[in-house]
Chains A and B, each alone.
Chain A
Amino acid sequence: MTTRRFIVEPRGLASARLTLAVPLIAVLLALVVGAVFLAVTGNNPWDVYVKMADTSFGSSRGISETLISATPLILTGVAAAVAFKMLVWNIGAEGQFLMGAVFAAGLGIALGDGTPSALAIPLVIIAGAIGGAFWASISAVPKVYLGTNEIITTLMLNFIALNFMNYLIFGSSSPWRDPLVPQFPSGRPIPESARIPEFFNRLDYGFIIAALLAVLAWFLISKTKWGFEVRVVGDSADTARYAGISVPRKFLGVFLMSGAFAGLAGSLYVAGPVGALDPRSLDLGLGFTGIIVAALARLNPVAVIPVAILMGALNNAGPALQSIQIPAATVTMLQGAILIFAVAGEFFIANRVRKPEKKPAGAPAAEGAGAA
């Protein structure tokens, strides 16, 4: 009586192969879309992609620069992943990242040259975590106890953090501003003793620390009692209450943890490659890119690491494209396309789409899904 061209039905459990394939296909499709765009604007897409790959992975210097770019993305990616998994919509990683950088640079400058590295480096890194968590708490506490919408508050606090940082450097003679070049506002360098040492070209140990922190986040969520409670809360707050789990406390914990990870991205960046509260190096949307990283990693903190490296490579290739007369914004476009395809791909992980079976006379019925 009724025929349908396609049947969409939810999958019970998607295979591991499929969950791996979908993000990869998303990246490929984004490259295809980018290729069409490049071809239409009179470029040879193949040449452009080769140039990008060569810039980011073609030399040991290229690889180290890629990993430097990936380092903050790992942490902002984890920040978004842990929050989103628990249905905490913290889209303020950008602001928490910047406040982490402000705290880290502030402590580094305050400590001065006299503090031994073994003390200064960990303190500066931790200061970033505190800064990020503090900035997140401004959204988290009202959300948990008063029910405010964290999407709005975290988003707005991003701009406050950005303007606050700009004020410290451009708008005032704060301790963060370098007094040696008053005619050219820039961040005051933190002492060498607070800088994370390099081990591979310009790459510093911050990358290793970020990767370990991503694994730690995974461990906390999947292997600890706290993580189990968090998973229950993220799945069903009513069930959590029923099982005697304090829901507000878990929400608060996850929110602050998310902020702390974004803040760590800031402190590792400041104590690593940047070395100062330098708005030109920090205001790159690394917190927002973290959201793309988390989505493509399907909110798995460990999968965030390779995805962040991919995104880092793209970021790294941007300036190189300008040398061959192609706008660096091509990279942003590719990242956006990847996000769109990755999100669309979620549909295919969750659902199966197939043609209805033909129903021969007397044979069992065709199966179909509710279109209600």
Chain B
Amino acid sequence: MADHADTLAVEFRNIDKAFYGVKANDNVNFELRRGEVHALLGENGAGKSTLCSILAGLYRPDAGEFLYEGKPTVFKTPKDALAAGVGMVYQHFRLVSNLTVAENLALGHPKLGIRISQSELEEEARQLGDEYGLPVDPSARVWQLSVGEQQRVEILKLLYRNAKVLILDEPTAVLTPQEAQQLFKTMRQMAEEGRSVIFVSHKLHEVKQVSDRVTVLRQGTTVGGADTADAEPRDLARMMVGRDLELPTRDENLDIGGPMLTVDSLRVDGDRGLEAVRGVTFEVNAGEVLGICGVSGNGQRELAYGLVGLRIPTSGTVHLDGEDVTNLTVADRIDKGFAYVPQSRLGMGLAPGLTTEDNLGLKAYRKPPYSNGPMLAAGVFKEKGGQWITEYDIRGVRPGLPIRLLSGGNLQKALLAREVELQPKALIARSPTRGLDVGATEAVRNLVLAERAKGTAVLLISEDLDELLALSDRVLVLYEGQVAGRMPADEATPERLGLLMAGQKEEAI
């Protein structure tokens, strides 16, 4: 590095950033060279997103130095950052869903005046897409696109603005393995042109494959960095989690019982009235974990809703332990033995403003001892709640404290504690470890596996293939609301599942 300053696109020195008194970034150092793909590796909550958001102008650091192209810089807003050439693709896309792809690219572009030519815009968008291997129909409206296509639009938006630094925050989380490979090609191409790409991930094999260098964050601080070629995945993993990592997997020697949850030709409508689950049939046996995978938005949510009663199926049947529950209400299904861990903990699984004890009683409150007739037994909420808080190691609880102030891991432990204590016959869990750190992931996986060992039928719906394969006995792939394939977990590989998730027929494999 003869001309050090000239090759650096971004330099962070001793960056601090805290939220509500909790440090998200604590003395972070980070260098980004021109023309490299730089992986930012770390657990959820390690401070990756915060660091990227500072770079993208969304947050300002509390302390520390930030040099952009060698000069001390402050980005006051994302607009500032983008004008200087720094853009970010967030995990939650920021597109206007009823505008077309081309219109989204043009939106907010400083060079465009009041009059714009639709056809010119679309032509430009098409060329850009072809050039970078990001094919997408420029005249399509964003809501018509798949998640993977929407991500391409986000990247195109940055290229259209000629961004020199592109930040991709966990871009592969919503992609099939094949789509991820295509994205990696695009990333390499952008780097070869002299752009810098920050690739945020917690998946080691992806980091190893695509990046030139890697910086590891743990608990808000930089713990190391290396040229990717020299880094052993094992060492990176240890740096990332601070200890040797061995997450629990299923015990293959346990007996599996008879059918517990039987779903036959189930059809459930989606939000827009279009059918989202289109004739799905499967059964889950007692003491078995059935993993359901698929790219997000292929009917997983509606399938779960149809099973727990949040949406009544339009046709088909659901049987639990031989009993037809297809048309029962949510409350009745809870009685019959359904437990449900929804994807959004604070959005659906918990009442954010109520206390932990109230939340732990949220499903059992209808019956003694939680209530007697119309009266609530506050003492029982306290007593049972306190017991479970200890037993499930839920930390941070204080009297009267709204549960939303607990950390993600503790929220999930509380949610699972409540569901497991229902002694369910079937447990339906959607992405139960999403956003959790290693310790909490371990706890949650153990709880799911303990249910399996108790003889509960577990339906695990997740986009995390590694987790599905570690916990499931069998795997079923959903594509556009239909079963695209099913197989024992032993025969499933990420590649095989990826093809099915992308809509390829099983015979073609």
Q: A-side interface residues toward B, CB under 8 Å?
A: 1-2, 9-10, 12-13, 223-228, 231-232, 235-236, 238-245, 356, 359, 365-372
Question: In the complex, are the beta carbons of A13 and B402 less than 8 A apart?
Answer: yes
Interface residues of B, dominant DSSP: mixed
The listed residue with most A CB atoms (<10 A of its CB), out of B62, B72, B329, B400, is B62
- Write the nearest CB–CB distance from B395 to chain A, whole angstroms: 14
Query: Do residues A2 and B348 form an inter-chain contact, with CB atoms below 8 A?
Result: no
B20 touches A10 (CB 8 A): yes
Interchain nearest-CB distance for A219 vs B (Å)? 10
A241 to B53, CA, bound (A): 34
B400 A13 Cβ-Cβ under 8 A: yes
| Residue numbers in B under 8 Å from A243 (CB-CB) | 330-331, 334, 362-363
Q: Give CA–CA (A308, B402) in the complex, Å.
A: 29
Partner of B342, one of A1, A12, A225, A242: A242
Residues of B within 8 A of A241 (CB): 310, 330
**B312: Cβ under 8 A from any A Cβ:** no
A231 touches B354 (CB 8 A): yes
Chain B neighbourhood of A227, CB < 8 A = 376
A228: contacting residue among B21, B53, B333, B376, CB under 8 A: B376
- In the assembly, what is the distance between CA of A356 and CA of B21, in Å? 11
Q: A235-B351, A235-B353 are in contact. Are A366 and B62 (CB under 8 A)?
A: yes
CB of B430, distance to nearest CB on chain A (Å):
12
- Total B residues in contact with A, Cβ cutoff 8 Å: 56
A-B contact count (CB 8 A): 122
Q: A2-B62, A224-B376, A225-B366 are in contact. Are A242 and B330 (CB under 8 A)?
A: yes
Say whether, besides A13-B398, A244-B334, A371-B59, A225 and B375 are in contact (CB < 8 Å): yes
Give bound CA distance, A366 to B27, whole Å: 11
Note all chain A residues with C-beta closer than 8 A to B378.
Answer: 223
Interface stretch (choices B11-19, B272-280, B383-391, B448-456): B11-19
Chain A residues within 8 Å of B350, by CB: 236, 239
Q: Is the CB of B18 within 8 A of A1?
A: no
Shortest CB distance A173–B (Å): 47
Within the complex, what minimum Cβ distance (angstroms) separates B486 from chain A?
Answer: 28
Residues of B within 8 Å of A231, CB to CB, are 351, 354, 358
Contact A223 B375 (CB under 8 A): yes
Contact (Cβ within 8 A) A228 B358: yes
Identify which of residues 42-99 in chain B touch chain A, using a CB-to-CB cut-off of 8 Å.
Answer: 53, 58-66, 72, 74
Confirm or deny: B349 has a beta carbon within 8 angstroms of a beta carbon on chain A: yes
Cβ contact of A365, chosen from B63, B334, B351, cutoff 8 A:
B63
Interface centre among B53, B63, B66, B400, by most chain A C-beta atoms within 10 angstroms, is: B63
Are B365 and A13 in touch, CB under 8 angstroms?
A: no
Q: How far is the CB of A102 from chain B (nearest CB, A)?
A: 32
Q: Cβ of A12 and Cβ of B401 under 8 Å apart?
A: yes
Bound-state CA distance A115–B58 (Å) is 72
What is the minimal beta-carbon distance from A206 to any residue of chain B, in angstroms?
A: 27
Which residues on A sit within 8 Å (CB–CB) of B72? Answer: 1
Least CB distance from A142 to B in Å reads 23
**Alpha-carbon separation in the docked complex, A72 to B37 (Å):** 70
Assembled-state Cα–Cα distance A9/B18 (Å)? 10
Q: How far is the CA of A228 from the CA of B381 in the complex (A)?
A: 12
Task: Encode contact with A along B179-193: 1 for CB under 8 Å, 0 otherwise.
Answer: 000000000000000
